[in-house]
Structure 1
């Protein structure tokens, strides 16, 4: 059975009637009035969003925004678990980026604005992120990284993140990212058999300054 559909079913069963009403209100700009009037459950709403290509297993941003608006951390954790599982089947570069994102989200904190500017995220987008997630620092950090990745597309690489972290003197976080990437490289090489590939071959040849942050 489709894991994404199972996720949506799980989220739907966890919604109260008042939360469904709130979600319908938030989706007014995306779903026509007549369709919303026929929505009686979370599954009804998700079905409409799926039909209109507003939602898919590859595009879960809207679902995350809706759950953040409800402040349902339990449901957000289910979404995180789904995305982590999906990452397992992603390309190695995408898995590396997602792992780096997790470390940065856990450790950068309020310095995320400085990092976002270093990554060339515009002030207008930073303001929009703060407005979208006013009371959720972790989502502010993650959304800024998503904006950067989407702007760079195939050029987005962990080495760019490490370089930006060091430029912001967030060297401890940069060290954590590099150490995790090295461990992942060793594990991957061990699973295939053979000696670990040089760090440079994984596009992590960022500045090596270890000045304390």
Structure 2
């Protein structure tokens, strides 16, 4: 994982921390960071900089931050940090271009048709309830965006193994046959 990629993940995590969650992490860091320094920290970025300076955080040393995130019940962010390393370690972790195009079409159709039952599909695809809740919190009133985010997360998890056939099978298992039919029709007419 390059330094730039690692810092981008840290920035994303920082942006997703609420003020209360940041305070909780600071409380947990009392043995690592002096009180005076803790008082000056008002963003996740500042905290991550100090942890890096102390040798507690780095691209090859994420365990401390992962544990802190788990302690404040942000398993989704801890997973993001762990998953990013495993994805960036492999350059061949994406489906081929043909399958990517099919998945993009399927994502478009599903997001247009899924509606309020998006969580059921997410569970069928193997996403955790924590991940589903995180998606909901980011897009509480936008059903299409929730569906798009759900499918992005599934694609990240599956990597090169992501297949449209798997999506169609999950849709049918959830009794979303009309949506599955629409995906198949759009793929056949492209």
Task: Give the structure-1-normalised TM-score.
Answer: 0.45
Instruction: Report what 1:101 is aligned to.
Output: 107
Give how far 1:30 is off. Answer: 7.1
Distance 2:151 2:128 in 1: 12
Match of 2:186 among 173, 180, 185: 180
Instruction: Report how many residues are paired.
Output: 104
Structure 1: give runs of 5+ residues left out of the alignment. Answer: 1-24, 33-89, 185-213
Asked if 1:139 is matched to 2:140, the reply is: no
C-alpha distance 154-133 of structure 1, shift in aligned 2 (>3 A) = same
Deviations 1:105-128 (A, max 9, x none): 000101110000000011010011
State the alpha-carbon separation in 2 of the partners of residues 153 and 105 from structure 1.
20
The change in CA–CA distance for 1:31 and 1:141 in structure 2 (over 3 A counts) is: same
**C-alpha separation between the residues in 1 aligned to 2:102 and 2:126?**
21
Whose relative contact order is higher, 1 or 2, with alpha carbons under 8 Å and at least 6 apart? 2
CA shift digits 1:34-73 (9 cap, x unpaired)? xxxxxxxxxxxxxxxxxxxxxxxxxxxxxxxxxxxxxxxx
Q: TM-score with structure 2 length normalisation?
A: 0.50
Stretches (4+) displaced over 4 A: 25-32
Tell me the residue number matched to 2:157. Answer: 151
Alignment partner, residue 115 of structure 1: 121
